[in-house]
Amino acid sequence: MIPSHRRRPLRFGMSLAPDVSAPLIRTAQDADRFGLDLLGVRDEPYRRGTADTPTLMAAVLAVTSRIRVLPAVACLPLRPPATLAKAVATMARLSGGRVELGLGAGRSWEHIEAYGAGRLGAAAARRALEEAVHVIRLYWSDQGGLRFQGDHYRFMAGQSGPAPEHQIGIWLGVTGPQGIDLAGRAADGWIAPSSLVPPKRLADGQRRLDDAAAAAGRDPAEIRRVYVLEGSIDEGGARGFLHGPSQQWVYELTELAVGHGVDTFLFGGDPERLAEFALEIVPAVREQVARERAAVQGDAEASPSPQAGQSSP
């Protein structure tokens, strides 16, 4: 029997770098038109020449009809959680619920400091991330008399709002063991970039995520597993993991889905290859994964069960 979190319907999307010199809106519309499920917009507000991610998300939602949009991931040190919660809830209401929230503890601290936020050590950044999840969920609760007092964030409001009309997932972009533990305890999803979490680390991360969820009394199957594909589609030949022809991508994504339990893929390669990814690779992966899941399920159902009174070996 395949574990339930490895049978989830697959989602595919794109990881978009918000370079203002690029045709951002056209690329987002292409992703929507090609049938992709998600558009993750990277959030590095301190980089010169980048668009503001929440503003870009709102613009994309206004000119698309079906694709879901998220920051992948929001730079928490420069995005106060209550303000971020309001922005995301507003976008969700205006788009019919087509928003998720990817949240990160922060990277490139030198640049973050230059933009006015204080530098945090790893443990403090994780604690701030955990507090932010609590603040955002509290804001979205639409309750009265809201209060939160943490080490990094304080929040008091007589009334929150607007509360989202549809559930918004909070997916944490974390790579270290303790960050993954946090995702298992508190998040709706885990976002892992392939450059920092290659397949040899992915299996350990998945086990850690499952163990942390179970220890917190949660069903691991409720947590979405998002993998950012930082590679290149290159018909010139295989050059390593996620660097090669489309057939190699089909094989590797199928293995990630069936063998590692990844259920969501964000293409982070050249936007010029987006059509090839969406219209050729994605359908082939869906077909192959369905075939392999059915074969595994069939083998499990065909296996004889121990007779009554007998123990399994």
User: Residues 242-258: pLDDT tens digits?
Assistant: 999 999 999 999 999 99
pLDDT for res 2: 47
Does 309 map to a domain?
no
Does 308 map to a domain?
no
List the Cα angle 209/211/216 in 5-degree steps.
95
Contact criterion met (CB below 8 Å) for 132 and 153: yes
Q: What is the CATH number of the domain that holds 154?
A: 3.20.20.30
Contact criterion met (CB below 8 Å) for 241 and 229: no
Going through the chain in order, the beta strands assigned E by DSSP cover 11-16, 38-41, 68-71, 74-75, 101-104, 144-149, 154-159, 170-173, 189-193, 224-229, 232-233, 243-244, 264-267
Evaluate if residue 306 carries a pLDDT over 80: no
Evaluate if residue 309 carries a pLDDT over 50: no
Does 290 map to a domain?
yes
**How would you label 26-59 residue by residue, b for 16+ Cβ within 10 Å and e otherwise?**
ebbbbbbebebbbbbbbbbbbeeebbebbebbbb
User: Is the dihedral angle over the CA atoms 112, 114, 118, 120 positive or is it negative?
Assistant: positive
pLDDT for res 5: 53
Contact criterion met (CB below 8 Å) for 30 and 284: no
Range of the domain at 104: 4-302
Does 144 map to a domain?
yes
Does 237 map to a domain?
yes
Number of structural domains (the chain) is 1
Mean pLDDT of the 158-186 span: 92
User: Is the dihedral angle over the CA atoms 191, 196, 200, 204 positive or is it negative?
Assistant: negative
pLDDT for res 70: 98
pLDDT band at 1 (very low <50, low <70, confident <90, very high): very low
pLDDT for res 247: 97
pLDDT for res 65: 97
Does 103 map to a domain?
yes
Does 311 map to a domain?
no
Does 268 map to a domain?
yes
